[in-house]
Structure 1
Amino acid sequence: TQRDIYNVTILNGTTNQIIGMIRTPFSSSRANGPIGITYDNRNNELYIANAWDDVVEVFPQVYPVTFRETGLPTNEGWNVTLGREEETSRTSSAMAFVPNGTYDFRVGGAHGYQVMPTTGQVVVNGLGVSQPLEFEANYSISVIERGLPTGTRWWVDYDAMMVNSTSKNALLNLTNGSYYLHIQAAGGWVSSPSQIPIVVEGGGFGLIVNFTRSQGSGQGWPGITWLGWTTTLLAAGGAMAVATVHFVGTRRKRR
């Protein structure tokens, strides 16, 4: 027998608003899909009537799993995959109906936003489940280097993350908050101080990092060269702040 999947729309009996969708398999080579659905509150079962035949299929009780988001602007699209089923939404919630069990979920679809949690599990055991989701906007922080030889690898560390680059630019996508950036280049250079604090507050900005080399400074430390490092913070509205930090690097002597 042919076994297909059709959708049955669930309406709120008071408001006539659509509150969900149930995917209903049925077994019939002649059927055009389900024509009716009935819920029996005495045994908590659903009965689906197929078209063109006398088959009534009984489904196990299903419970709503509701994902509720905060942080997205109105009408911003997002999606959640629960088990093998994907639900999409442009409102603050998405709902699926499933029997008892443990289900993996994955959230995505909102470009330019990070979501917590991105993945997880929900356990359905005789009751509906609500899973909160928190979206935060990403802002582009552009770190631009000047002075390194073409193709030199350099990197930015922050919050256990790393962005590598061999070009002039390293792009970070950060949410609002305070961060410490560690900026280093290949060749064994070590920064002092090792942390550059930044604050992301509702917008992106650029950091210009100038690497310059000077000849031996006569400090009395063999094999050590001083590297001057200047950052220029380009903020919205044309404001500019400049800070100078010194890096110390060591060079191995050739044997």
Structure 2
Amino acid sequence: MTALTDMLAGPLCAFAFCWRLERRDGVTLGLTSHDRPITMNGLTYRPAPGLVPGALLRGGDGTAELTDVRGALSSAAITQDDLDAGRWDGATLLLHLTDWARPGELWLELARGTLGSVEQQGESYSVALRSHIGAMLDRPVTPVTSPTCRAQLGDRACRVDLRPLRMVVVIEDVADDAVTCAGLGPGAYPFGNLRWLDGANAGLVQTIIDQDDARLFLSEPPPFPVATGSRALLTQGCDKRLATCAARFANAANFRGEPHLPGMDLLTRYPGS
């Protein structure tokens, strides 16, 4: 805090907010409240005077919590189409304070977290911010028992190699939430996902809820029109049952569930029921 104390003691303060936004698809955006670009750590922060923080709460242990972020829709930065398509859902946000007159001398992190729900009012928007520390404190101390697996297919707990379970396909037809593509395995993709590689939907990931031969049914229609011949990356899914884990993936040793644990219906059972 020495640099901040020295600058506050000076005759003039030239502070500016710097926002670093990183989407889940890797796209990173730098914005600043200053009227000129500021470059720090290889990222250029472009002027966005309309982007302002809400209440910033800082605890005695050094943790900080930012309630929300407000700004104006811009075709060059955060567009309405991208917000509606969910491209910014779950994006990581870092808020820093710097001195635009002497960039680099002060780079104070004020808050960090992930973007939550977006509320739009005319040409402006408000984004709720979930702090990383708050999310960690909300996690259960011990796993909750369940008859189905708590792990996600391919994650650190599951340990299934996803590489042979992925395939790039060419889209032949799209009708509402149904996508048709050839070369699919029988019933392998329900509960999996589809990642668009081409077109306006590129980078978006959608959940597959059902499959009928060459047709996949998504949880919702694609946000933007899909041209015939577009490519997509398919990842197979798992219904999280022990039988599927053992027979299809040969991974019963890593099953994260309790399929044989008696449930609440045990209290209502009686001889001969």
TM-score of the two chains, using structure 1 as the length reference: 0.23
- Tell me which structure has the larger Cα radius of gyration: 1
Higher fraction of helix:
2
**RCO (CA 8 Å, sep 6+): is it higher in 1 or 2?**
2
TM-score of the two chains, using structure 2 as the length reference: 0.22
Higher fraction of strand:
1
